Structure 1
Amino acid sequence: MRTPFARAVQTLRLHLAGLGRLLRLHTLRGQMLAGFLSIMIVILTIVGFVIFDSAANLLKQNAETLIRHAAVQGNGRLEAMMKQIDSLSLQAATNTYVQNLLGEVEDGFKPTFLDRQGLQPVADQVMLYGSGIRSVEIYTSQGDRLFPLGGDELYDVVGSEFIVKAHEQRGGMYWIGLSQAGEDEVLAIRQIHLIQRSFAPAGYLLVRIDRQVFRLDSLGEDMGVGAVSLLFDRDGQLIAATADDALSGADYASLLASEDKTVEINDRHYVLVKQHSDIAGWTLLILTPVEAITKGIFILRAAIIVSAAIGSVLFIIFSVLLSTAITRPVLRLIKSMRSVRFGELKPAEHISSTAEIGELVHTYNQMVGNMKELIRLVYEKEIMQNRAELKALQAQIHPHFLYNTLEALYWSLLEKNEDELADYVVALSELFRYTITGHNREEWVTLAEELEQIRRYLLIMGMRFGDRLSWRIDSEMDDNRLLLPKLIIQPLVENAIQHGIENKIGAGFVSVTVKRSQEPGYFHVIVEDDGAGMNEEKLRKIRSKLAMGADKAMESSGYGITNVQQRLRLHARSETANISVLAIESREGEGTTVTLTIPIRTEVVEHEPAYHLDRG
């Protein structure tokens, strides 16, 4: 009779024999199974280690993040309480009765018993609304106690260095820390300034707070991981702590100075998180046991091992079934699909197989039908699009037609002795040619070409405004060598006429001046008018929008100068990174001045004439 062990061995042999038959490598199914199993073992091993390591690190990081959030929350509670006490003490320090009494003391008046007792309601209000406030004491500038009656002087209660610190706060609250008398209380002091006497110092307000108020017992309870919180003042003295027994004998100075995330105290490892208070200058430490954070890692390891085992078994079973279902019908389906290689879209014949393969064949046939339909639709769409583009092209006016028409108008005016109108037509034609032609509207042109464009524009505007408009163009630079972005000055001239001269009653003057900048490597283009100008409010809004680069907002207001600024910065981003490329000055009723600062960029030409144009 065979033993249970022998039966188990025999069963294992049968299973291995069956697996060996499946893994015959000369067959596609055997190759698929062998490949799948090999890859599965490698992947599961790698993924198991990676997941375990990543999950462990993520668990630690999340715990550290939780602890840090708890530290921020605890520090926020402390700072909220400190702000409340600070606000209440400030109300007491600025109280009218306190201010008047201290002012009289500064003048040499000696307060009576009733005068000093009048400070009781002020102190009661602070103690009523403040958390854990034991007492409120008021002293004169000489350190004499004014309220409550009797007791030590200020210099006997706190050290002189803290009085100096309170003076340096200029009326702000200075948190001293534990009382020098060793009592279970925390001290905070602020200097009182007389508001009616140019904030002259006149005394001090001292607040005594119960030490237990600063304990954060609820912090560890909220986290639920046995966290210990420690609160230290500026001098490293322990203000408050939770679970003192757990950290008995710990070196607090080394904890405050440590930069490590993990520390060891009493043979126990803790995760250390620090949080500094900007209000009091105190430091909050939260220590969390490492084992409380990592206890879930062991459960994770067991879960990964069990999941890997179950996944391996299921993978083998489904691999056998899948390989059998795929390898038989897939070759016949491939034969049906080979026609696509030769550009023919023919549906595949129906193949009786598994539901998945049948669905694949059905989907392929649907795809063939959809592709044929899409080809037809695309073909029709292209025909319709070509027709629409043809109609659009037919609706466009070729620039040369415009130039030829203006040329014919020019000669017609000359024949009729309309020389002035002919000049305007030529200027208009050249203005259109300069604006429209070119491969790129953002191309660079010479300063001479740009100034010539401004001259044409002003000539045409002169026809509109008549004697109301006079102008001048003056340049001291090398106009035929200097390069600048095309159409960079004309928007400024248009603004000067439309928003300056047009809104002015009477004649107006516009000048365009080009001169060298005091900043090496730059030159200025100054567009100035004596038009209506702008008030301070409108000028401030324009400057603000220029600083923000608010193109749409600026253009909606009628001022397109932001586009000029952005174009200059885009064309010369490195040169103008720290330079204000556009400045605007204006006074209501006196005109507006816009100054462009442009990097010098040159090219060599044969002649270099100076440029001086004016009218009027």
Structure 2
Amino acid sequence: MHQWFKGHLSESNLRTKLLLLFSVLILLPLSLQGMVTYRHFSATVNHKTEQFTIDIVQQINTNLDRMLKDLERLSLMPLYDQMVLSILAKYNGPMGSGTWVLSDDYLKMKLYTSGQAYNRPEIRGIHLISNSGILFSNVDAMSADAVWDSRRDSWFSDLFQSDGEWTIIPPHEPSYYSSPSSESYISVARVIREPKTLVRLGYMIIDVKVEAFGHILSNLNFEREASLLIVDDRQRFIFERVEEGGVSAYGELLKDGQLQEMRNRQKKKLGSRDYLFVQHHSSYTGLSVISLTPIAVIQKESREMMTFTLWFAAVCVGMVTGLAVLLSYRITRPLIELKKAMARAEQGNFNKRVTMLSNDEFGQLGRGFNKMMEEINRLFHEVFVLGMREKEAELSALQSQINPHFIYNTLESINMMAIQRKHAEVSDMVTALGKLLRYTIDKVDRRIQLWEEIHFVDSYVRIQQVRYGGKLQVLYEIEDEVKDCLIPKLILQPLVENAVYHGIDDREEGGTIWISALRFEDELLITVRDNGKGMSETEIEELNEAIGKHTDNQSLQLSGHDELGLSNIFQRIVLMYDKGGSLTVDGSPGRGFAVTITIPL
């Protein structure tokens, strides 16, 4: 490391060394002071934040005790009301056996439960249930069942097994509510016994909205990015407020018994974040309030202090840099000018000279550099420039020679003249001819896509249509799915030309040529058909038989229709596709002639 730093320092320029020296003199003491201050400030802030979190958790548990103690006292009230006890005793029996209730009893119990729930927005419903399942509630009769079988709800077993003590039932979905709802409630419940005989008369259930627990937090300055979890003495979930954008921590803490093993003020990693674990247990309710505060939130003020220190250090670095640049400018300026002049010389600019010439060593270097540039510039013009002129002359001679594109350029010039003189037909013919030449000069034996061959045929047809006027009409029937199929190049144009010259040329009324392509199973069928003079059935049979025997060109000259290369096309198809490809002809006198090519796909 030392050798690396020493080597890089020796290679640095003078201005860089001055900047480095000033930076070290300022930043070293500043960095030490900042580190000591940050450590002390961070430790103090973290301790205060942890203590504040503990105080908040204790206050939350105190508020919970106050709310639940009020609900516990509410659950004791039926024990001191003889009317409630007598009505519950009247409907005694096995659970689920109750069927009806007197309207007078219903109204009395409705009035009693409604009075108990008055001005208590946190309560969803107060329910008095007899042993037989008759349910008296302050809830509207359309929203709660009049008879309820507690055996349908698994959570009721905790209340049934309690011995008259009040109990807290974790979030559940009671089945006695008639309207379908997925809303859960936390209930405070108690077994109601006759005070003298201790005979079980029924049950009292107070359903508390889950939001009531959230309202407790809203009155406290609890960190928004922290998570809060409430569990009972059996580690069952009661309530959780998840941090913004976070996920539930209950399952992670409960896994493998971690919740029981964790100590207060312990740091815990959940997911990708570290948290401070703070827990407070209430001996009265048996509930534990757990706070999970991200360590990043606790250290937020520490990071702000570090940010301030870094910004202050950046300002100092900027001031040091400006001072170093100002002081080193006059010392290093001549060297920088000389360096720039040398860089321009490396790029081939030998005309620049160093203008800042003093009487010191830098001035002597500048004058020597200027003399060297003058000599190099003279040699450059004598040797290099003359050689460049010779190369340019050779290049001009080569460019004057005719290349393969000379014909294309000439056709383009003719096309422009035709356009300027408004000879549209001449322009169309020249353009089509240019496309034909470009297409045919390319490598002949390669395969191309069908649509390229169709475009080439269309250029040829345009020339023939100008020649024949309105006597020639060509129709295309090409399926979209076969346009990209590969076919041998230059197999359609000879067929179209054959149809023009030997099928339609002699007819005064002209004619029509149909070009079709379709897919049949795994084969591509291409047909060129005209409505010209056609051939006799005998001639057609002899021509197809001759083609099937792979004979030479002379044996295929059975008709004028083959003069433009039917045999040539057939031989190319056989060479490329072997027995998978074929060429057949068909027609009749006066109804035209058709050639069909089959190509395997």
Q: Normalising to structure 2: TM-score of the pair?
A: 0.38
Q: Normalising to structure 1: TM-score of the pair?
A: 0.38
